[in-house]
Amino acid sequence: MNTNASSTGRAGFIFVYENMSIVMVVDSFIKGEEQKNGSPPKMSLAQNRPKAVEQLKKTKFNFIIIDQACMGSTLPHEWLQSLYNEMEGGVTKREELKVFLLANNNISNDDLENFLISGYDDIFIKPLDMPIVAQKINNITGLEFSKENQLYFAPITSPVKLAYRYDLEGLSEAGAKVVIDERLAAGEVFTIIIPQFEKFGIREIVAKVINCKDHQKQKGKFTASINFVGIQPSVTKTIRRWMVEEYIKAK
């Protein structure tokens, strides 16, 4: 396990951790990817913000994962703003750094939306579901945290409910592709209802737009890739089993 990412040309990230057992989960996943001849980002560790800032000032990092348990009484949006202020002038630039929050499983949808709006690129829920974490990091950073696609993306087509009518074009437990009549802005946060997930007790899901492009086949329409935020890991694993049974075995 690396405690400091060196300038080897390989991408790197900082994990601001509170519990070593979570670090071991991430480290085990990284080692598994290396055994597959992958090149996942190198992990550096920090136990608090000053230690993270010290590394950010000296070395270029691509992203940072911050365990909310390390923040004490500081609110996540305040902690993030302090990080940005303190890393100013360092090697890693604010606009180049993706930031992920590791939150407890009792976080509310209101807090999820507020933290995303305050600047977090995504929020992972404890205990970590590494296939979802890896796939989201791949999608958001453009890096290869995992060599292979971790999730099955089912070609499900149906309407979904938002402020406007959206048509679902593809679905996984981590996110979806939706077709809409207007372009959505990258980073936009909203609540979505996925009818297929209601059977798992999920009524409303907080979602964030990763990108939105012209639809390849339907003129005047757009395809938005969105990430789901805050679904409990126990539920995502149940959804994953259901998707495999319903959509892969049925082929």
Q: What is the pLDDT of residues 149-181, one digit of tens each?
A: 656 566 655 555 554 567 888 888 899 999 988
pLDDT band at 3 (very low <50, low <70, confident <90, very high): very low
pLDDT over 70 for what percent of the chain?
88
Burial-class residue 60 by CB neighbours within 10 Å (0-12, 13-18, 19+): middle
- pTM for this prediction: 0.85
Model confidence band, residue 102 (pLDDT cutoffs 50, 70, 90): very high
Classify domain 12-141 by CATH number. Answer: 3.40.50.2300
Q: Where are the alpha helices (DSSP H) in 142-209?
A: none
- Of 43-47, 94-98, 130-134, least confident by mean pLDDT is 130-134
As beta bridge partners, residue 44 has 14
With a pLDDT cut of 90, the percent of the chain lying above it is 63
Q: In angstroms, rounded to a whole number, what is the distance separating the alpha carbons of residues 93 and 192?
A: 33
Query: Residue 85: enclosing H or E segment and its boundaries?
Result: helix 76-87
Higher pLDDT residue, 63 or 180? Answer: 63
Cα–Cα dist 215/221, whole Å: 6
Top pLDDT among 208 and 38 is at 208
Question: Can you name the residues that pair with 161 across neighbouring β-strands?
Answer: 165, 193
Pairwise CA distance, residues 99 & 121, whole Å: 5
Q: In whole angstroms, give the CA distance from residue 174 to residue 233.
A: 10
The sheet with strand 12-16 has its strands ordered as 42-46, 12-16, 63-67, 98-103, 122-125
Q: Comparing 126-140, 145-159, 192-206, which segment has the lowest mean pLDDT?
A: 145-159
Return the ∠ at Cα 182 (arms to 169 and 111), rounded to 5°.
80
pLDDT digits (tens, 9 = 90+) for 196-218: 898 999 988 999 999 999 999 89
Q: What length is written for the chain?
A: 251
Domain at 158-248, CATH from 3.30.365.10, 2.40.10.220, 3.40.50.2300, 3.30.420.40: 2.40.10.220
- Where are the domain boundaries for CATH 3.40.50.2300 in the chain? 12-141
Residues carrying CATH 2.40.10.220, the chain: 158-248
| Secondary element (H or E) of residue 12 | strand 12-16
**Measuring CA to CA, which residue among 130, 103, 98 is closest to residue 24?**
130
Assess whether pLDDT exceeds 80 at residue 68: yes
pLDDT at site 203: 84
pLDDT at 225: 93
Lowest mean pLDDT among 16-25, 47-56, 235-244: 235-244
The answer to whether the beta carbons of residues 127 and 236 sit under 8 Å apart is no
